[in-house]
Structure 1
Amino acid sequence: MTLDGRLLSNVSVMAAVVEGGSFASAANALGLTPSGVSRAIARLEGRIGVRLFDRTTRSLSLTDEGRLLYANINPLVLGIEDAVTLAAGSSGAVRGRLRVNTDAFSSRLLLAPHLPRFLAQHPDLTLELIAREQLGDLVAEGFDIAVRFGEPPSSSLVARKLTDSRVVTVASPAYIARHGRPAKPADLAGHACLQVRNAATGQPFAWEFQRGRKLVKVPTAGRLLLSDPGTILETTLAGICVAQIKAVGIQPQLDSGALVDLFPDWPDERLPLYALYPSRHLPAAKVRAFIDFVMGVVAPAAMPAAKPGTRR
């Protein structure tokens, strides 16, 4: 198939449709009419001989063939944009729309307090921070980057490890005053322990403690089963229960004494934080800027790398 300017133009229109979620959004972004976008997609479909989108009056989604094509062309389209930016002498320009896929903990407790600073640093950037339980298909859904805890799945995505976070067992001073402080993990059998729902299984996470190579699992019980990180934090601060939480998201509460690390002598239960983005030679300036931003957020609470423990 001969590569020509019209083919490249139609491919760019397809990328804009996926990123915008509709023909109208793509038309607005490209300065075209919706009918012009529709004609470009029709020309591309005719050129390659497959249907790329399933379209109704209410919805728009990629076909399997469209998803495969987009997964392969999107890094190339973005690479062309970066090459043009570099040639223009403004490789540091951070502009446009940045779509970030993350988990609720990272969104609520890790990133949200620092977003005003990031937006102030990049006034030409629009940020979409989407919190969801599962990673999903990063490329097909038009995300630029994902920031998530846990070992990344095997895929074509670039996985850059940002930090390891301790998983700490905490309680408020008020809880300790009423119920006493457990001296060792096994003592938690007599305490109200907050259960956190595992999105993958629907069951509570197991409570584990690691010190060097020693790994201990402790049965716990409690009347609360939660999944929202904000609710988990507020409930623990209110003195209702003991909880296990990633330290990187609650460092201010630990530093102020609002929460107490009950077992500092069990420091090696950890969970890695990764940035995931489509594989290509030159990440977009906006992606690089967001990674630098996250690194700046996690750096104060970063700990020496260790073997990950339980997935909290």
Structure 2
Amino acid sequence: MGPHLDGIEEAAIDAAGATEKVRGRLRVNVDPFFSRLVLARELASFLDQHPDLRLELIMRDHIGDLVADAFDMALRFGEPPVAGFTNRKMLETRILTVASPAYLEKHGKPGHPRDLINHTCIDYQDPTTGRAFEWEFRRGSEIFPIRQSARLMVSDVETMIGACREGAGIAQIMELGSQHIMESGKLVEIFPDWPDETFPLYAIFPSRRHRAAKVRVFTDFCSGLLGRAD
């Protein structure tokens, strides 16, 4: 289905629920990093707006089975499942390759992604495969994949950032939520001339049927937060 038809269907699904009252239980499978970074500090205002709604945010590192686990929707980074779901792209955030000033002073700053073969990197585990995410650099139409050399792999973003900040190696992090640490100078972007590698955030829904008002308003609420955080 083409993007135009997807947009028409999305509007039709949302319009079908536009007159419903926002109430009952809303159960959301949510990426832990997104929940801590964006949602946590804004939840009180959302709940104040919808006093008849009970919100259940269940932090998981994978999407699992939304239907069997009784989720109304999910908020996940990465490409969404192809079959059995519909989705809405919420954000594309840049991927930054970073290191601490102390690491760069000790080991030197790589001039090109190919130079990473001579550096220590920090891997982040893909919860779907259990393997490390592959590193890829993009600049316009130019794509440069590398096989990084890592002695440390983690499955938690804050642990990765903390280890990188203390000089354990070079890491790739999302620009979303990293502004404060970059502006403080505790981490330095290494390849600003390779700016086009991104990672998406999707709202994922278990079916294409009529979408409840509670799902629609929460999705729009998150979209508004991302507009301010981006």
Relative to structure 1, the CA distance from residue 95 to residue 260 in structure 2 (aligned partners, 3 Å threshold; closer, same or farther) is: farther
Distance 1:163 1:262 in 2: 23
The 8 Å contact of residues 102 and 147 in structure 1, kept in 2 or not, is answered as: yes
Match of 2:112 in 1: 184
Q: Secondary structure at the match of 1:293?
A: helix
Structure 2: stretches of 5+ with no match in the other structure: 1-12
The 8 Å contact of residues 38 and 229 in structure 2, kept in 1 or not, is answered as: no
Give percent identity, aligned residues only: 49
Distance 1:185 1:286 in 2: 45
Relative to structure 1, the CA distance from residue 200 to residue 157 in structure 2 (aligned partners, 3 Å threshold; closer, same or farther) is: closer
The 8 Å contact of residues 251 and 301 in structure 1, kept in 2 or not, is answered as: no
Structure 1: stretches of 5+ with no match in the other structure: 1-78, 303-312
Match of 2:86 among 158, 162, 175: 158
Relative to structure 1, the CA distance from residue 119 to residue 179 in structure 2 (aligned partners, 3 Å threshold; closer, same or farther) is: farther
CA-CA distance at 1:116 after TM superposition:
4.2
Distance 2:42 2:169 in 1: 28
Relative to structure 1, the CA distance from residue 298 to residue 176 in structure 2 (aligned partners, 3 Å threshold; closer, same or farther) is: farther
Structure 2 residue 121 is the aligned partner of structure 1 residue 193: yes
Q: Secondary structure at the match of 1:224?
A: strand
The 8 Å contact of residues 109 and 229 in structure 1, kept in 2 or not, is answered as: no
Match of 1:210 in 2: 138
Structure 2 residue 190 is the aligned partner of structure 1 residue 262: yes
Distance 1:123 1:254 in 2: 38
* Superposition RMSD in Å: 2.6
Match of 1:99 in 2: 27
Relative to structure 1, the CA distance from residue 256 to residue 285 in structure 2 (aligned partners, 3 Å threshold; closer, same or farther) is: farther
Which of the pair is proportionally richer in helix? 1
Q: Secondary structure at the match of 2:121?
A: coil
Indicate the larger mover: 234-243 or 269-278.
234-243
Structure ID, larger Rg:
1
Which of the pair is proportionally richer in strand? 2
Distance 2:186 2:123 in 1: 20
